Structure 1
């Protein structure tokens, strides 16, 4: 009716209608700017907090089977046998002879020039390569049912330790008598390099890596590098090299972002320590196996330098893969993957991009869902993971997520290294013309086949386990 009360027009309704929850979730909610309608006018209502509007999808992890891991003593024995084979191959490359020629002199009557070899040096290298095996045999806890077995075990360990120390002292004394000081400097070169690189600073142990992460406190975020006493650092680092890997930490699903970041900091410190041990021991093995025998070769002795250098690289790569597979087993890589899934990642955006999209100030007490835009340190970031509690400007958090958000990345890298070495050695075997090349490649390939078999077995089993998505989970992780 003309004189009746009119209701709101369609245009007024469109301006007064509050956006739905789906609209807020899809585009995010602006911070301090209010909700905007079709026009430029904004309402005076404050925006609702993000945690009240969006609940991130729960991350459900795949369960992997317990793959068999070699006993530390068995692994050290296999590594020592491999290094002895590699040392024998290097001596063949250096001191080979043309033994099939007519026996015109004594040197050509055998396949190797044994009279040119330094037996004291070979014994010294063997003892240095066996240091981890000896220490593992001495320090490993073995249950004994009777007191007699316990006494015999302790006596055997003491005899083994004393024999190794006595043999090392005798060979060192003989080398000091027969060689110059310049040549003897090569004997302790790895230790001289390791001390300044790894022993002056150490990551602060604000938390215990082996402790339950449910007990982490706010001090976990304050892990810094601090200078310590030099002798104490040297003693602790040498103890780590001899004692082997630390106990594997346990994983829980932390309820708060602060505990998630504390868990990541503890895992980063433990991972860096393991990688440092792998790098040092692999370089140490390659140095004593393939490089040190070259330093004591007489100037009149001829050998194939290129082939010896290739052998040095192959020994280092194989030792690196063997130590990495032992120090970073599948269960440990799965632990890192679970922690990275809760950490998340932020992508930094250019200024001016997403200018009309709602943006939020970053908060360290919020679990941010995927696709949300936040402001942190005058920069704009976009959440990329299902859970996002990482510090947007922290490069170490982004690196941690990149390395471990795909659980099989480390295993694929090891398989790629071993496969490349095997293919190159097989190609060199097909083209080899010297008898020492054929023999050395055959011995090294037999060791590499065993490593490749173990890695491929773990890759097949874990690939099937990670492809299975737990029931009720909407988050699937790519294993490649």
Structure 2
């Protein structure tokens, strides 16, 4: 917080297109190009990683149970039926159930084990690292052995094709993440040296090279989280919704409703993974970095020429320099094109698509949570509508489960949206007020 407080200053603008240089030479950069001023993000209670993984594990396990019920249900409720059991349990492959439960519980068990070191207060940092390594590889070997045993038992009773469908997502995992173990065992893992209390670090620097390097680190971290969110949602929905259908042999069931259940599970896992992997506190860190990065908007040369700004205006434009901090509405020339800066300050590379996407995505993260809130509301409302037309008891049971469990995710995303909307609305208002009052203070 010391670095952030030291570099914070109010916004200032002179109303014309000029540049303000800021080299990383130890000079007082706050007097040359004032850095953005951030509003402190409120501290509110959030779920720990162990609780998040427990919630995801319970949701996926019960979702898989609902799918087995959809497939192996009986007509026990008919008056002349001699069936006394609601589900044909004897038709369900026990090793398939064990495989799904083991696979879905891996992250919860692993997180519970690695966070167990918090109870050992006498452990030094060296012993904690050794403990993590031992837990990682011993747990991975044990899990691989149990999963391999279940696959072998399933292979004995079935052909090669069902087994291939069972391990297909694991092959995709190797293609996406390589032979890394940590992404398979945790939804989000800390990069050593770049994290503090489970969040990446942000330094309010006035050095352009430092800011761009920080953007690269945060961009890579966000890409890892996004890739993990997409893979986790599809991975869980595949095993909870589709795998039970693949192993349903000589059983008549409503295919449309079964795949509809899988679709709802995928959407629920997607929004739940986003709520866990991209909390509002994390998005605020990326938002602060985006304000330091800024954005270059490419100007239309024909429009400039048509307005009387001929070659003389273009020749007087300052050429972009990497060690300069540019104020809002500054105009620069880069690779023969003219760019104007957007944002309180701009240190981004003109024409760099990565910097442009980062700024546009995180300049106002409340838009992200507003979209997720709408999606989550659509999931809940559509579930209620479909539930209205459900007739059979197992459809009512599975839809009620998905609809009710999505209320927890809806609350978290709605809370993040309301908090971020109020904070960034106030931040924008303060910036505009400081911008309007700046000329009178000069």
Aligned length: 389
1:96 aligned to 73, 78, 82, which one?
Answer: 73
Q: Which residue of 1 aligns with 2:95?
A: 120
Q: Which residue of 2 aligns with 1:65?
A: 42
Q: Which residue of 2 aligns with 1:245?
A: 189
Higher relative contact order (CA 8 A, sep 6+): 2
Q: Which residue of 1 aligns with 2:251?
A: 301
Deviation (angstroms), 1:476 = 8.6
2:420 aligned to 459, 462, 468, which one?
Answer: 462
Task: Say which structure is richer in helix.
Answer: 2
Deviation (angstroms), 1:188 = 1.0
Counterpart of 2:37 in 1: which secondary structure?
A: coil
2:241 aligned to 253, 266, 290, which one?
Answer: 290
Q: Contact (CA 8 Å) 1:373, 1:380: kept in 2 or not?
A: yes
Within the alignment, does 1:137 sit opposite 2:116 as a pair?
no
What is the TM-score with the length of structure 2 in the denominator? 0.80
Deviation (angstroms), 1:460 = 2.6
Q: Contact (CA 8 Å) 1:187, 1:292: kept in 2 or not?
A: yes
Once residues 110 and 360 of structure 1 are traced to their aligned partners in structure 2, the CA distance between those partners, rounded to angstroms, is 81
Uncovered stretches (5+) of structure 1, i.e. residues with no partner:
1-23, 30-48, 200-233
2:360 aligned to 389, 393, 402, which one?
Answer: 402
Q: CA RMSD in A?
A: 3.1
Once residues 162 and 381 of structure 1 are traced to their aligned partners in structure 2, the CA distance between those partners, rounded to angstroms, is 55
Within the alignment, does 1:419 sit opposite 2:377 as a pair?
yes
Counterpart of 2:113 in 1: which secondary structure?
A: helix
2:205 aligned to 236, 251, 254, which one?
Answer: 254
1:392 aligned to 332, 350, 362, which one?
Answer: 350
Counterpart of 1:354 in 2: which secondary structure?
A: helix
Once residues 81 and 428 of structure 2 are traced to their aligned partners in structure 1, the CA distance between those partners, rounded to angstroms, is 75
Change (3 A) 1:252 1:456: same
Q: Contact (CA 8 Å) 2:296, 2:356: kept in 1 or not?
A: yes
Once residues 32 and 303 of structure 2 are traced to their aligned partners in structure 1, the CA distance between those partners, rounded to angstroms, is 26
Change (3 A) 1:255 1:162: closer
Uncovered stretches (5+) of structure 2, i.e. residues with no partner:
1-12, 23-30, 436-442
Q: Which residue of 1 aligns with 2:7?
A: none
Q: Contact (CA 8 Å) 2:20, 2:325: kept in 1 or not?
A: no
Deviation (angstroms), 1:293 = 0.9
Deviation (angstroms), 1:112 = 1.8
CA offsets 1:31-50 (integer angstroms, 9 cap, x no match): xxxxxxxxxxxxxxxxxx75
Q: Which moved more, 1:462-471 or 1:442-451?
A: 462-471
Q: Contact (CA 8 Å) 2:57, 2:108: kept in 1 or not?
A: yes
Larger gyration radius, structure 1 or structure 2: 1
Once residues 370 and 457 of structure 1 are traced to their aligned partners in structure 2, the CA distance between those partners, rounded to angstroms, is 32
Q: Contact (CA 8 Å) 1:60, 1:475: kept in 2 or not?
A: no
CA offsets 1:199-232 (integer angstroms, 9 cap, x no match): 3xxxxxxxxxxxxxxxxxxxxxxxxxxxxxxxxx
Deviation (angstroms), 1:468 = 3.1
Q: Which residue of 2 aligns with 1:16?
A: none
Q: Which moved more, 1:136-145 or 1:246-255?
A: 136-145
